[in-house]
Amino acid sequence: MYIRTVLPGIVLWAAWVAASSCATEPVAASDRPLNVLLIMADDVGFECFSSYGSKEYDTPRVDALARQGIRFTNAHSTPLCTPTRVNLMSGKSNVFNYQDFGIYPAGEPTFANHFQTHGYRTAVAGKWQLQTMQAGKGITPGEAGFDTWCLWNIPGGARERYWKPSFVQNGKLLDLPDHTFGPDMMTDFLIDFMTAKSDKPFLAYYPMILVHDPFVPTPDSDGGKRVDKAKRTAKRQKQNYVDMVAYMDKCVGRLVDALKASGKRDNTLVIFTGDNGTNAVLSSELDGNTIKGGKGYTHDYGTHVPLVVNLPGVIPPGQVNEDLIAFSDFFPTIVQAAGLPPKAIKDGDGISFWPQCLGQPGEKREWIYGYYFPRPYAAKLDNKYNHYEVRYARDKRYKLYDNGDLYDTLDDVMEKSPLPTDDADAETQAARKIMQQALDSFPSKGQAIRHDQVSSERKPGFQKRSNH
């Protein structure tokens, strides 16, 4: 058993139930049960939002949610899409259940299963990427607890996601007109679901298609004119990406507006985040610094994502919170916010940040544990997406890898120079000790990986980490 009780950064489910029982009842602004809308954008780091200080990107609708709710400044995902989705949906660190890229472990309960069991209507729209074409590999949306769904990157569909997309809705491949822009249809699908008349509350999960490459014009770009792939220069790609971020924000606004029009906004919790850092081919300016996208890397620009939470009349507006947030924490947070019974104590390592949303101190993480092994069964483990497993623990400043490398992420965000092991600085030594205890409190290898089947072919520089 790996029950972490010795370190103050981790609390068991029973502890938060007892410590914050006042926050475990439904807290909507009316007597109606709480609805939940969880939005996760694809491939966009914290540096792409004006609420986080960007002057390059325009995100007024997400900014408004932050201004009228709470914005977290230390939320960290895993550096790639599938691992983050498994982490988020299961409420468990990937070291316990991650199997391979594109696969959600069959039989692992999701937050949708939990809400469905407790009487919620459930829907998902957007990017799936949790089931392969091979039978028995991964999980269907129905098995994941969703009553209805419209998805891209799922067996039965093709690869187009933006213009004339290939989507599968409730098991049926849709025949869509050429002028269809995929994100619009996904947003429409969830609006129809959320605003439908029902005596049941809903859970809507929106793992967005935007803003993953290919970087294409949106309907709002130059009158919606499309640009051939061959004409997408580096400059054009960046402009398209800026436009895609703006369109992502527009889709968020449409969802919020639909909730208002339907009279459901005041009892709908809206959460917005991203699945990993920005694509590494892009660079953005923030606070006078150039930030190169970190997707696929375990340094901060690969894991540091936006997190905004909003519930009118319940979450005090204008909050900015610096507490560490891991993606295992989303499951217990939305469960506690809705006043549902928590999962079993042994089933997850997340900590609810719902008290922080309410303006209370909450249970503060001392550290976050990270596990990253994106494609365990690749023929060769020799690049940023195909490399050996990486384990690390981090606080707001220091990060320790399982090979002993310790980094000061404030002074060395790209993790180029590990601190010397004989550093006499008391703060550094204390951080190393705490982070090592954190690493030691988790399994030394991924529990769902067949290590006897993992390739031993790997080049120097990728044995332990994917940063170089």
381 within some domain? no
β 390-394/368-372 pair status: antiparallel
List beta partners, residue 324: 74
Residue 390 pLDDT class (50, 70, 90 cuts): very high
What is the mean pLDDT of the segment spanning 281-309?
96
What pLDDT is stored for residue 438 in this prediction?
97
CATH of the domain at 69: 3.40.720.10
pLDDT digits (tens, 9 = 90+) for 318-367: 999 999 999 999 999 999 999 999 988 777 899 999 999 999 999 999 99
137 within some domain? yes
What pLDDT is stored for residue 133 in this prediction?
73
What pLDDT is stored for residue 11 in this prediction?
34
- Hey, what are 82's tokens? 């599938």
Residue 134 pLDDT class (50, 70, 90 cuts): low
Range 195-201, long-range pairs (CB < 8 A, 24+ positions) = 195/258, 195/259, 195/261, 195/262, 195/264, 198/121, 200/119, 200/120, 200/121, 201/32, 201/33, 201/34, 201/35, 201/119, 201/120, 201/121, 201/267, 201/338
Residue 458 pLDDT class (50, 70, 90 cuts): low
pLDDT digits (tens, 9 = 90+) for 355-368: 999 999 999 999 99
235 within some domain? yes
pLDDT at 24 over 70: no
- The number of domains in the chain is 1
Whole-number Å distance between alpha carbons of 275 and 128: 13
What pLDDT is stored for residue 212 in this prediction?
97
- What global pTM score does this model have? 0.92
How many CB atoms lie under 10 A from the CB of residue 32? Answer: 15
CA-based diameter of the chain, in Å?
Answer: 66
Of 63 and 460, the one with more pLDDT? 63
List Cα–Cα distances, 419 to 74, 414, 429, 439, in angstroms. Answer: 22, 13, 10, 18
- Hey, what are 433's tokens? 């000790």
Quickly list DSSP for 93-139: -HHHH--STT-PPTT---HHHHHHHTT-EEEEEEE---B-SSTTSB-
Residue 227 pLDDT class (50, 70, 90 cuts): low
439 within some domain? no
Any alpha helices (H) in 140-233, and if so which ranges? 182-195
Roughly how many angstroms between the first and final C-alpha of the chain, as a whole number? Answer: 34
35 within some domain? yes
**Nearest by Cα to 184 from 208, 205, 158:** 208
Q: Confirm if 136 and 106 have CB atoms less than 8 A apart.
A: yes
- Where is average pLDDT lowest: 150-154, 351-355, 363-367, 459-463? 459-463
What is the mean pLDDT of the segment spanning 107-115?
97
Q: Specify the 3-state DSSP secondary structure of 320.
A: strand
pLDDT at 21 over 60: no
Positive/negative CA dihedral, 393, 395, 399, 404: negative
Whole-number Å distance between alpha carbons of 156 and 271: 30
Amino acid, res. 81: C
Q: Confirm if 333 and 315 have CB atoms less than 8 A apart.
A: no
Whole-number Å distance between alpha carbons of 352 and 320: 17
3 within some domain? no
pLDDT at 8 over 50: no
Question: How many distinct helices (H) and strands (E) make up the chain?
Answer: 11, 16
Give the residue numbers spanning the domain of 274. Answer: 13-368
Residue 226 pLDDT class (50, 70, 90 cuts): low
Residue 86 pLDDT class (50, 70, 90 cuts): very high
- Computed on alpha carbons and rounded to an integer, the radius of gyration of the chain in Å comes to 21
Whole-number Å distance between alpha carbons of 312 and 308: 13
Any alpha helices (H) in 228-383, and if so which ranges? 234-261, 300-303, 330-337, 354-357
445 within some domain? no
